[in-house]
Amino acid sequence: MSDVEERSSSSSSVSSQQPANEVTIRMPRRVDHTYHDYANYRVDLLRPSDPDYTAFHGGNRKSANNFPAKLHSILSNSEYGHIIRWMPHGRAWKILNKDLMVSEVIPKYWGQTKYESFSRQLSGWGFKRLHQAGPDFRAYYHECFLRGLPFLTKLMKRVAATNQGKLLPHPDGEPNFYS
């Protein structure tokens, strides 16, 4: 028996357990752009029974110095306005000069020199990139990352790794921050 015959005979015994005509089609996994507006979030109305209560009242002390909090302070600093800046609506931000970001900002605040590491941190904290044509093209956003509301970064948590590969962009599902 040849190798080809042997493989086909062994695979036929396996295929007898599954219907021969059944084909599994996997739909591409797309970025979920569901957006909740936290612009009017009221911390003063939280009760101890609310899930977000501990983030603001004696919760994780590291949240004041975590990645999103540092990024928010950089965006709020006009010294870096030529490198990284908020979009006019204040719900997204954009890197204007990647080279200066890598040479000046990233080493100063995070002690690293690779943009890929910075990008991985963005993904790990749940930031999403906008791919739709327009003024927000290539900008990043997170529903709890808004200009003038740095306290919202306390609500941000690291995203659990899914190990299911890269998600495809989904421009049609992206939020429109101008409407």
Query: What is the DSSP track for the chain?
Result: --HHHHHHHHHHHHHTTS-TT----PPPPB--------TT--GGG--TTSTTHHHHTT--GGGGGSHHHHHHHHHT-GGGTTTEEE-TTSSEEEES-HHHIIIIIHHHHHS---HHHHHHHHHHTT-EE--SSSTTTT-EE-TT--TT-GGGGGG--PPPP--S-PPBP-GGGS--TT-
Question: What local confidence, expressed as pLDDT, does residue 65 receive?
Answer: 81
Predicted confidence (pLDDT) at residue 4 exceeds the cutoff of 50: no
Q: What are the Cα distances from residue 138, in Å, to 6, 33, 36, 47, 170? A: 52, 14, 20, 38, 13
The whole-number average pLDDT for the span 75-98 is 96
Mean model confidence pLDDT for the chain: 79
The whole-number average pLDDT for the span 99-117 is 95
Most confident of the ranges 25-29, 35-39, 158-162:
158-162
Predicted confidence (pLDDT) at residue 10 exceeds the cutoff of 50: no
Q: What are the Cα distances from residue 96, in Å, to 28, 78, 87, 105? A: 31, 13, 11, 12
Question: What local confidence, expressed as pLDDT, does residue 173 receive?
Answer: 73
Long-range pairs, 79-82, Cβ under 8 A, ≥24: 80/104, 80/105
Place of tokens 């931000």: 93
pLDDT band of 23, cuts 50, 70, 90: confident
The whole-number average pLDDT for the span 150-154 is 88
More confident residue, 156 or 58: 156
Q: What are the Cα distances from residue 111, in Å, to 84, 118, 167? A: 18, 11, 28
Predicted confidence (pLDDT) at residue 47 exceeds the cutoff of 80: no
Predicted confidence (pLDDT) at residue 136 exceeds the cutoff of 90: yes
